[in-house]
Structure 1
C-alpha cells in the first residue's frame, strides 16, 4: 500500500472523530502530527478536516495570530515557519547572502514584525511577552552560530565586493535579537572583538552612522559592531569586566524585549533609562585608529569605563511640545537634528510641503540623569526612519540625537563641556546604540574626533528597597 495513502482499516478508524481530534492535540512534535495524520482516514480528517480548524488551533498555540487570517493561510504559515526555524538552527550563518540564510531571515523577520498582533501574555516579571518572542528566544538558543557575529573581519579583497560585507538583513535581525541577549546566560561566542573595537572608535567621517538618500539608511554593520563591542564587555562572564555590574542589577533594570507591536514613524520613548559608554585616552585612540587588523596585532587597548569599576548612567526623558522647546544653534550645528524628508518627493511635492509638515513627525525631548557623581541634562530629537533594510523591511527605527550638558554657576549650559550623542533607537523603543563625541571649543579642532560608543536601555522605575522594621 502507498505509504502516503491513509489506511481505511486501522484501529483509529473505529474511534469517534472527536476522540481522534483530542489525541492529535496532545501530540508534542510536528513529526508526530505528520505520522498520526497518515495512519488512517479518520486521523487524516482529525488533522485536515473540519475546515482545517486543527491548524488554526496549532498556529494560535505557537505564534501570534493576526485577526482575520484564514485557516488555510495559517496552516501554510505554520508549516513554513516551523520548517525554517528547525532547519535554520543548523544553518551556518556567514554573511547573510546565501539563499538558505535569506529564507530563514525572512521567517525571523515575520516573527518580529507580527509580534503582539493578537492576544499576548505576561512573562514571570509581569511584562508583556508574545508567543513570537518565545519562538525567537528558542531559535537563538538552538542555533549554534546565529548570534556569534563571527564574520566581521573583512577579507583582503572585500573592497572589490559590490555587496556590503555583512548583509544588512542579517545585521538587522541580529540587532533585534539582541533584546534577548542580556537576560540569558551567555551561550554564544564573541569573535573579532578587536575589529569591532576599532570600528566603534573610528571617526564619523570614516564610519558614518547613516547613509543613503537624505541619510535615512541605518549603517547596520556599524551598529552590529557596537552590539558586538558591548556584548563582549557586558554579557560574557569570562571577561569579568562589566558583566559583574550588569549581573548585580535587578531584573527590571536590565535590557529587555520590546513590549508592544512595532509601529512605523516616530513614537515617544519610555521615561526611565540606564546606559553606559566606553572611551580611550586620546593617544591610545589615535593609535587604534591608525592600526590595521589585516594581520595579527599585539597591542591591547583597555576600554575606559568597561572595567569592574565602570559606571552605569541613569537618564529620565520627557517629551516636550514643539512650541516650548529650546534648541540652541550650537546644538543643531553639531548634531544636525532637524527633521529630514522620509522619502523621495517630486519638486511639486517639495514646494507644497511646509516646514511644519516635516516637524510634525518628529519628537522633541529633554532629560536629566546621573553619570557617576555628576548630574547632567540632555536635550534632543527623535526623527522617524523608513522601514528597513530592503527586502525584509522592519518598521520602527528612529534616529536619536541629543546634547548632554552641565549647568554652570550662572544657570546656563557650560559651553566648554558639551557631549553630543547620535544613535539609533531599535524598533520597539527599548534599546539605543550609537556614538558620542566631545564638542570642540574651537571648530574643526582635534577634539571633534574624540569619540566612542554608547548604549542605553529602557528600564522600569527603581525598585524600592526592602527594609525590615529594625532598619526603619
Structure 2
C-alpha cells in the first residue's frame, strides 16, 4: 500500500469523528499531528472535516485570535508560523546574499510582524504576575532568544549590497519590538558591535537625526537600535561600568516590560510612572575627542558616565489632552515640539477641497481627535535633584508595517522663585520615539540652556521605561486616587 494514502483498515475508522478530534487535540507537537493524520482516513477527516474547525481550535491554543478569520486562513497561518518559528532560528539576519535568502528573511520578518500586529486580539489573559499577557508575545520572546535575530550585520563589514534599505529598517524595527523581552530577561544574547553603537549614540543631532524623510516622519530605526544596544550592554555587562549592578538590583516590576494592549495608530496617552537613565561623555575633555576620532580607533576607550554614578531617575507624567498648559516660547524654540508635519500622519491628510465637500461625521471627528497632540506634564528626580518636566506626544504613521509609534519631546527644567518654569537656566531637552505599546521610549537628550549648535551639540542617549508604581519613598502629596490610577495604568 502507498504510505501516502491513509489506511482504511485501522481501529480509528471505527471511532466517532468527535473522539478522533479529541485525540488530535491532545497531541502537542506538529509532528505528532502530521503522523496522526497519516494513520488512516478517519484520522485525516478528524483534522480536515467539520469545515477545518480543528485548526481554528489549534490556532487559538497557540496564538491571539483575530475575529472574522476563516478556518482555512487560520490553518495556513498556523502552519506557516510554526514552520518559520521552528526553522528560522538558524538564519543569519541582515546577511542575505541571494534572492532566495532575501525571500526567506522577508518571510521570517513578515511572520514576526504578524505576531506583533495581532497581539492582544480577542480575549485578554493574565500572566503569573497578574499582568496582561498574550501568547504571541511568548512566541516573539522565545524566537528572540533562540535565534540569531540579535546578531547584527555590524559584526561583519556590513550587509551585502543586495539587501535593500527597507529590509534593513524592517529588521531593525522587529529587533526593537523584541528588545522589551531581552531587557527584562536574565538570559539574553550578547551585545555585538558595542563600539559602533557608542559612536552612533554620541553623534551630533544633524549627523544622526532621529526623524528623517521629506517631512521628518520616518523613524531612524538603525540609530534607535544603536541606542537600545548601548543601554543593553550597560545593563548586562559588568565590564561596561557600575550601571549593571544597579540594574540587577531592580525588582521585576521596576524593569522594562512588553506592551499590554493592541497596537493601533494615533496618539496614545502614556502611563503615569516611569524610570529613566541617560549616559554622557564629558563635554570638554571627552566628547570632542571621541567625535573627532569617529570610532576609527577602537583602542581609544571612552567610558560612559551615568547620572549620579548609575542611579536611576524616576518620572511621574500626566498625559493631558484638549487643554493648553503653559509652554514657554523658549522651550519651543529649542525643542521644536510643534512639528506640524507629524500630525495627522500622512495617511490621514485631506486636501482643503476634500474637507469642504461635506461636514465630518461623528466617526470622522473621533478619528481626527485620535491624532491630536497630547501634552505631557510631570516631575521627577534621583538621589541628587528634583525637577519638573513638560512636553508633547505626537502620532506617527505606521513604521515598517507596525502601528503605534509616537514622537515625544520633553523639556526637563526647574522652577524659579515664583514657582514658574525657569526658561534660561539648566534646561535639558529630550526628543525620542515611543515604541508601539507605550512602554519604552528611546532617544536623545541635549543641553538646551543656550540655543544649541546641532552640528556640535552636548548630547547623548536616554532610555525611559514604564513601571507599575511610583518611587519607593512614598510622596506625601500623592493623590488619594493613586491606587485607582495604578490599576488603570496596568493595562497601558
Asked whether the equivalents of residues 271 and 318 of structure 1 are also in contact (C-alpha less than 8 Å), the reply is yes
Aligned pairs for 1:54-453 (under 5 A) are 54-95=54-95, 98-143=102-147, 145-151=148-154, 155=158, 163-164=164-165, 167-236=168-237, 239=240, 241-282=242-283, 283-294=285-296, 296-305=297-306, 309-338=309-338, 339-340=340-341, 341=343, 342-343=345-346, 348=352, 361-389=372-400, 393-414=401-422, 415-441=424-450, 443=451, 449-453=457-461
For residues 387 and 455 of structure 2, what CA distance do their matches in structure 1 show?
Answer: 20
Q: Distance in 1 between matches of 2:31 and 2:237?
A: 36
Unaligned runs of 5+ in 2: 358-364, 474-492
Asked if 2 retains the 8 angstrom alpha-carbon contact of 1:253 and 1:462, the reply is: no
Instruction: Say yes or no: does 1:43 pair with 2:43.
Output: yes
TM-score (norm. length: structure 1): 0.89
Q: CA deviation at 1:411?
A: 2.7
Q: Distance in 2 between matches of 1:44 and 1:68?
A: 25
Does the C-alpha gap of structure 1 residues 59 and 463 become closer, same or farther in structure 2, counting only changes over 3 Å?
A: farther
Deviations 1:145-176 (Å, cap 9, x if unpaired)?
11233526665x99x89943971000000000
Which 5+ residue runs of structure 1 have no aligned equivalent? 466-472
Q: Per the alignment, in what secondary structure is the counterpart of residue 464 of structure 2?
A: strand
Q: C-alpha deviations, 1:55-96, integer Å up to 9, x for none?
A: 011000000001122211110110111111112112111257
| Mean CA deviation greater in 216-225 or 296-305 | 296-305
Following TM superposition, by how much is the alpha carbon of 1:24 offset from its aligned partner in structure 2, in angstroms? 1.0
> CA 1:49–1:444 in 2, change beyond 3 Å: closer, same or farther?
closer
**SS of residue in 2 equivalent to 1:12:** helix
Q: Output one character per residue of 1:360-389: Cα deviation in whole Å (capped at 9) or x when no partner.
A: 611111110003321111110000000012
SS of the counterpart of 2:259?
Answer: coil
Instruction: Number of aligned residue pairs: give it.
Output: 455
Between the aligned partners of 2:350 and 2:20, the Cα distance in structure 1 is 62
Whole-Å Cα distance in 1 between the matches of residues 58 and 231 of structure 2? 38
**What's the TM-score, normalizing by structure 2?**
0.86
Distance apart, 1:306 and its partner CA: 7.5
**SS of residue in 2 equivalent to 1:324:** coil
1:98 counterpart SS class: helix
